Amino acid sequence: MTSGDALSDTIRPFTRWLALVILPFLVAAVVLLYLLPTTTDKLFAWTIAPPLTAMFLGSAYIGGICFFTGVARSRRWHSVRHGFAAVVVFSTLMAVATVLHWDRFHFGHVSFVTWALLYLTTPFLTLAAVLFNWRADPGESADSTARVPWAPRVALGILGLAALAFGLALFLFPVDVGRHWAWEVTPLTGRIVGATLTLPGMVNLWLFIDARWSAFRWIFLAQIASLVFIAIAIVFRLGDLQWTRPAAGLFVAGILVSLAAYSAFFVVCERRARAAGPADAAHR
């Protein structure tokens, strides 16, 4: 990458400031949803049942903390750009779910005010970040950074496509699809779970067209963090799963297999990056 390309690939200040603004909200949400999942009727924007749903969403926010920390720390736009596309879709779906189920929220509660403010603005703010950085990734030659092996790119891309398709189906048809989900969901929580499933889907699809590990390192670190905490949530809320439904066993197996696969994928790509030397480190 030339010096001019390096300059154009620099993350714009607006993007860094946006990450710093979003992070405290994510931390607060993790405390309320993941650490206090049985108190959403009193402390959160709406009552979430069963608690596994709250912890599932909280796990996504833990991944969000990792991702936006990377945004605040990274020097290059290309190292986080694929995550922003996922956040735009996720936050837009969350805003739509909020409007569609407005009557389910705790009006006047500080958590509701914060939730509404966050999701009625975040889709536009994250889209603005994408537009501000639109021309910031000039691309790189094949030998300028470690490359993701072709086979796992395709495998994870297909997995992402499946997650995106199912997430959108659950969001659009929360009653019909939700009755087959791994645990009980309402139309609102079904849409929330569906929106959350689009996050890995939107990220992984980029693997079909971008082979640079530096473009995925922070994002996959965030996904692994989410998977770890989903696995922990399953252990603590095992009774929330509807074991008479095939989806329950498939969900648990899917999380464990995904965690193992993503972790192995991360280790392999990190080794390739270290082998690439200082030139690859410059892209982080």
pLDDT digits (tens, 9 = 90+) for 67-76: 999 999 988 9
> How much is the pLDDT for 2?
45
pLDDT for res 260: 95
Return the axis-axis angle of helices 110-132 and 13-30, rounded to nearest 10°: 150
Name the residue type at position 266.
F
Range of the domain at 23: 3-135+143-281
Cβ atoms of 183 and 240 within 8 Å: the answer is: yes
185 pLDDT above the threshold of 90:
yes
The CA radius of gyration of the chain, in Å to the nearest whole number, is: 19
Contact present, 213 and 145 (Cβ < 8 Å): yes
Cα–Cα nearest to 210, from 156, 268, 133: 156
CA nearest to 219, candidates 125, 131, 90: 90
pLDDT beyond 50 at 233? yes
CA distance linking residue 186 with residue 59, whole number of Å: 19
Q: Give the Å distances, CA to CA, from 207 to 88, 144, 214.
A: 18, 17, 12
Q: With 80 as the cut, is the pLDDT of residue 90 above it? A: yes
pLDDT in tens, 42-88: 999 999 999 999 999 999 999 999 999 999 998 899 999 999 999 99
Q: What's the whole-number average pLDDT of the chain?
A: 91
- How much is the pLDDT for 4? 46
The pLDDT value recorded for residue 136 is: 63
In the predicted model, what is the mean pLDDT of residues 230-247? 97
Tell me how far CA of residue 198 lies from CA of 85, 136, 147, 201, 284, in angstroms: 11, 25, 25, 5, 25
pLDDT for the residue 21:
96
pTM of this prediction?
0.91
Q: Which two tokens stand for residue 266?
A: 């991360």
Residues 117-168 pLDDT 10s: 999 999 999 999 999 898 766 555 444 568 898 999 999 999 999 999 999 9
Report DSSP state, residue 174: T
Render pLDDT for 14-39 as a digit per residue (tens, 0 to 9): 999 999 999 999 999 999 999 999 99
- Tokens 């889709």 -> residue: 123
Given a cut of 60, whether residue 251 has pLDDT beyond it is: yes
* C-alpha span between 284 and 280 (Å, rounded): 7
pLDDT of 277 > 70? The answer is no
CB of 58 closer than 8 Å to CB of 29: yes
pLDDT score of 190 more than 50:
yes
Indicate the angle between helix axes 51-73 and 13-30, nearest 10 degrees. Answer: 150
DSSP 143: T
CB 185 within 8 A of CB 50: no
Residue range 270-281: mean pLDDT, rounded: 73
How many percent of the chain have pLDDT more than 70? 91
| Contact (Cβ atoms closer than 8 angstroms) between residue 272 and residue 147 | yes
279 pLDDT band, cuts 50/70/90, is: low
pLDDT > 90: what percent of the chain?
Answer: 84
Predicted pLDDT at 138: 55
Over residues 220-228, the mean pLDDT reads 97
How many other CB atoms are found less than 10 A from the CB of residue 4? 9
For position 10, what pLDDT does the model report? 87
- The number of domains in the chain is 1
Under the phi-then-psi rule, with left for phi > 0, alpha for psi from -120 to 50, and beta for the rest, what region is 40? alpha
